[in-house]
């Protein structure tokens, strides 16, 4: 079910922003939300496994349309000097979801039924789509442009090869290698056909902007470390510490609340002093949090892991908002949607690779260690620490290079 959602999400998130730039972000946002609601409704009444799988893929398609469009709508609703506030709104919504997700999921599993995962999405989607239709302003008339159906099909095929290839790498390497070969052929065809088109679905020219490139890479590296950490900690709390799924969910609640609150504060800080200092503070707190969690064992109290996760949440709250602000501030206004799509798509790819690495490490530790979850946590945190150190180095290198260019231009 996870794979079907990821294929749907990755297939549309990569082009949703560009579609919004061409046809209007309000239209794409509402379309994606309606697809998400209908898919959730379909999943809630499905009686066969295939129906659930299909509904999850449709949810992914809807979700992939929503995120870049929602980001672009938020960016265009505020002047450029308030981009920090925009990113705080976006990241605070993520923080709210992170805060509510684990406890709600634990409650559904413990006291209700799995269908409530779909029912809840229907309710939340409806609460989003109705105000969007009523309150959001229509964008000015956009230049008419034909949708590149051929390029869209190619992109969806390429994404499917990436997701399925990564998913099957540890299970069936030959199958994964075959998918990689198909991916290379499709990429060659796509690059040839898209090169001479004026309206490209995926604008690689944006990556020539060093600020955008640095922001996307840094944010993707943070995503690489963050989500596998949440996964292994949840497993460790339930498997090694013998927490119930509901109690394990509540362990993440203080951290998630910190992320939510900091997201609002970070926006105001960014608008006043820029993105550099908050981003560095966030990355340092992430590094400290990961080091502390590395040494956490089942003998420590619940307050200990909560405090470590809060430190990690401070890092994520500062870092995520600051890096997103750097990306959006550096993007041309007419390409806000395309930049958002590229940002979310790269984060998704890094998440997939990270979850693959985490899965391989857990399988390896299960085969070689009795206390396999402890060693899996240890290995994953060690990789996370190395990646965050790399991210800090990348970000500082970009800032030093920018300062040297500024000095050179002045002189």
Question: Which CATH number covers residue 63?
Answer: 1.20.1250.20
The answer to whether residue 288 scores a pLDDT higher than 90 is yes
Contact 285, 311 (CB under 8 A): yes
Q: What is the mean pLDDT of residues 294-299?
A: 85
Tell me: do 266 and 331 sit in the same domain. yes
- Give the per-residue pLDDT at 140: 54
Same domain for 242 and 354, yes or no, is yes
Domain match, 157 and 79 both: no
Residue 156 domain-assigned?
A: yes
Which band of pLDDT confidence, cut at 50, 70 and 90, is reported for residue 109? Answer: low
Q: Are 37 and 121 contacting, i.e. CB atoms less than 8 angstroms apart? A: yes
pLDDT per residue as tens digits for the range 73-94: 777 777 666 666 677 667 667 6
My answer on whether 180 and 311 are in the same domain is: no
- Determine, yes or no, domain membership for 191: yes
Average pLDDT of the chain to the nearest whole number: 78
For residue 292, pLDDT over 80 is answered with yes
Q: Can you tell me the distance from the alpha carbon of 185 to that of 199, in angstroms, rounded to the nearest whole number?
A: 22
The verdict on 34 and 85 lying in the same domain is yes
Q: Collapse the DSSP code of 295 into the 3-class scheme (helix H, G, I; strand E, B; otherwise coil) and give the result.
A: coil
Please state the domain count of the chain. Answer: 2
Domain extent, residue 170, equals 146-198
Q: 211 and 323 share a domain?
A: yes
pLDDT of 83: 63
- Within 10 angstroms of residue 358's Cβ, the number of other Cβ atoms is 21
- Residue 141 binned pLDDT confidence (cut-offs 50, 70, 90): very low
* Residues 123 and 159 placed together within one structural domain of the fold: no
- Say if residue 190 is in the same domain as residue 215: no
Give the pLDDT band of residue 285 (cuts 50, 70, 90): very high
This prediction's pTM? 0.76
The pLDDT of residue 375 = 84
What's residue 84's pLDDT?
64
In a domain, 141, yes or no: no
3-state percent helix, strand, coil for the chain, nearest multiple of 5: 85, 0, 15
């Amino acid at each position: 079910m996870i794979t079907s959602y990821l294929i749907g999400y990755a297939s549309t998130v990569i082009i949703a922003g560009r579609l919004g730039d061409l046809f209007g972000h309000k239209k794409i946002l509402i379309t994606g939300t309606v697809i998400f609601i209908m898919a959730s409704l379909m999943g809630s009444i499905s009686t066969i496994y295939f129906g659930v799988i299909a509904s999850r893929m449709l949810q992914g398609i809807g979700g992939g349309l929503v995120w870049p469009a929602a980001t672009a709508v938020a960016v265009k609703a505020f002047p450029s000097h308030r981009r920090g506030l925009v990113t705080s709104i976006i990241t605070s919504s993520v923080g709210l979801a992170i805060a509510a997700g684990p406890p709600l999921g634990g409650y559904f599993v413990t006291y209700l039924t799995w269908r409530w995962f779909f029912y809840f999405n229907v309710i939340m989607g409806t609460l989003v789509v109705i105000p969007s239709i009523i309150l959001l302003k229509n964008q000015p008339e956009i230049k008419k442009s034909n949708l590149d159906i051929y390029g869209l099909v190619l992109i969806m095929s390429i994404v499917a090869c990436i997701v399925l290839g990564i998913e099957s790498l540890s299970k069936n390497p030959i199958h994964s290698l075959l998918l990689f070969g198909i991916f290379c052929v499709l990429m060659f065809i796509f690059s040839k056909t898209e090169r001479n088109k004026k309206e490209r679905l995926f604008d690689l020219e944006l990556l020539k902007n060093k600020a955008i490139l640095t922001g996307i890479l840094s944010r993707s590296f943070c995503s690489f470390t963050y989500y596998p950490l949440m996964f292994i900690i949840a497993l460790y709390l339930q498997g090694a510490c013998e927490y119930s799924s509901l109690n394990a969910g509540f362990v993440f609640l203080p951290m998630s609340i910190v992320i939510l609150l900091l997201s609002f504060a970070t926006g105001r800080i960014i608008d006043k002093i820029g993105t550099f200092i908050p981003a560095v503070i966030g990355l340092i707190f992430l590094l400290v949090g990961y080091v502390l969690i590395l040494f956490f064992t089942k003998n420590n109290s619940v307050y200990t892991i909560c405090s470590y996760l809060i430190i990690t949440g401070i890092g994520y709250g500062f870092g995520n908002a600051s890096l997103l602000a750097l990306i959006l501030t550096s993007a041309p206004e007419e390409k806000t949607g395309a930049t958002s799509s590229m940002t979310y798509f790269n984060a998704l790819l890094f998440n997939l690779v990270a979850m693959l690495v985490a899965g391989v490490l857990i399988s390896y530790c299960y085969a070689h260690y009795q206390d396999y979850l402890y060693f899996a946590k240890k290995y994953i945190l060690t990789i996370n620490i190395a990646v965050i150190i790399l991210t800090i180095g990348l970000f500082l290198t970009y800032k030093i290079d920018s300062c040297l260019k500024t000095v050179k231009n002045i002189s």
